Amino acid sequence: MKAIRVHEPGGPDRLKCEQVPLPEPGPGQARVKIHAVGVNFIDVYHRTGLYKMPLPFTPGMEAAGIVDAVGEQSADVSPGDRVAYAMSAGSYAEYSVVDTRNLVQLPEKTDFAEGAAVMLQGMTAHYLVFSTYPLRGGETALVHAAAGGVGLLLIQTAKMLGATVIGTVSTPEKAELARTAGADHVIDYEKADFEAEVRRITGGTGVDVVYDSVGRATFDKSLRCLRRRGMLVLYGQSSGPVPPVELNTLSAGGSLYFTRPGLMHYVATRDELAWRAGDVLRWVANRRLKLRIDRTFALADAAAAHRALEGRQTAGKILLLP
């Protein structure tokens, strides 16, 4: 079968399409014939070595497809089942072996592209607003990269809960996408200082929470956008890692909270995975949650997909199609 392999960390050119043996499922595992693969920034972090992986490896943490074979003690799924998954490495391939506890059934109304597009980013939006900072009606959230894959889903889930959403974007086109998703206010940070705009919009009070996937470029101003005892949720670092933080900064800013969560800790049990995946897949099937698939690439063009993602050329989700 074909798979993308990384033999040493580096740029997109490290993604090589190779022939590898077909994997066999072990106990509690299933082999999935992959129909669509989600491309995410965590794949970039793995490729560059920011998040260490044993070499060589097949990147990718999200996909949807059909169960092709099952190992022993794999009672949760059967061959022929339509499934999706996230947070299981090795999805940049024609087939992947996945622990059955990580697989969820796709609703009939949800196709493979939608399943691959929503699992990782949809569950990320879910845990951010329901668990990391449980957002309530009447509160205000600042969402960075508001036209990105997670950003557009974050806006929609925050609006489901009755919150006011301020989004930041880099182009007028992305601003329109954020507004269409439901953002109440959109700031083009290429034209305005988002910190000053947030203070203006909130009457100087600041926001209850900042959901920040950008990292280094936005971190300091994000802290200054918070109200007293507000929370900065740093769930990504597309602009680079945040330098060490002097903890007294949190006290000086108004007894602020700062956290660096990761999806794996919010789907650590089967029940929690079923809750989050069940919600987002149901919302997609009912068209309550609208997905934007920016573009698709062939599996062999994974490097081009990474360049588009890192170059901020996308708005919404990128998929690979084996």
pLDDT tens string 164-217:
999 999 999 999 999 999 999 999 999 999 999 999 999 999 999 999 999 899
Quote the strand ranges of 20-91, DSSP E.
Answer: 29-39, 62-70, 82-86
CA pair distance 39, 92, nearest whole angstrom: 9
- pLDDT at position 21: 97
- pLDDT at position 240: 86
- E strand or H helix at 98: strand 95-99
Sign of torsion over alpha carbons 156, 158, 162, 164: negative
128 and 116 in a common domain: no
Confidence of residue 42 (pLDDT cuts 50, 70, 90): very high
Mean pLDDT of 117-135: 97
276 and 248 in a common domain: no
137 and 108 in a common domain: no
126 and 84 in a common domain: no
- pLDDT at position 3: 98
245 and 145 in a common domain: yes
238 and 162 in a common domain: yes
Mean pLDDT of 275-294: 95
- 192 contact partners, CB below 8 Å, separation of at least 6: none
CA pair distance 268, 265, nearest whole angstrom: 5
Q: How many domains does the chain have?
A: 2
Helices 112-127 and 149-160, packing angle to 10 deg = 60
pLDDT at 241 over 90: no
Mean pLDDT of 269-273: 96
- For residue 237, how far is the Cα from the chain centroid? 12
% of the chain with per-residue pLDDT over 70: 100
313 and 241 in a common domain: no
Look up the domain containing 65 and give its range.
2-120+267-321
Assign residue 256 the CATH number of its domain. 3.40.50.720
Mean pLDDT of 126-141: 98
Last residue of a domain, one of 215, 233, 263: 263
pLDDT at 74 over 80: no
Do the Cβ atoms of 104 and 273 come closer than 8 Å?
yes
- pLDDT at position 237: 86
Do the Cβ atoms of 302 and 4 come closer than 8 Å?
yes
Last residue of a domain, one of 222, 247, 263: 263
Q: Which of 86, 87, 74, 94 is nearest to 32 (CA)?
A: 94
254 and 143 in a common domain: yes
Do the Cβ atoms of 84 and 63 come closer than 8 Å?
yes
Last residue of a domain, one of 263, 283, 309: 263
CA pair distance 3, 37, nearest whole angstrom: 12
Q: Centre a 10 Å sphere on the Cβ of residue 190 and count the other Cβ atoms it contains.
A: 10
Do the Cβ atoms of 103 and 134 come closer than 8 Å?
no
Helices 172-181 and 149-160, packing angle to 10 deg = 30
pLDDT at 75 over 80: no
Assign residue 93 the CATH number of its domain. 3.90.180.10
pLDDT at 239 over 90: no
Helices 112-127 and 270-285, packing angle to 10 deg = 120
Least confident residue range of 147-161, 178-192, 266-280, 303-317 = 303-317
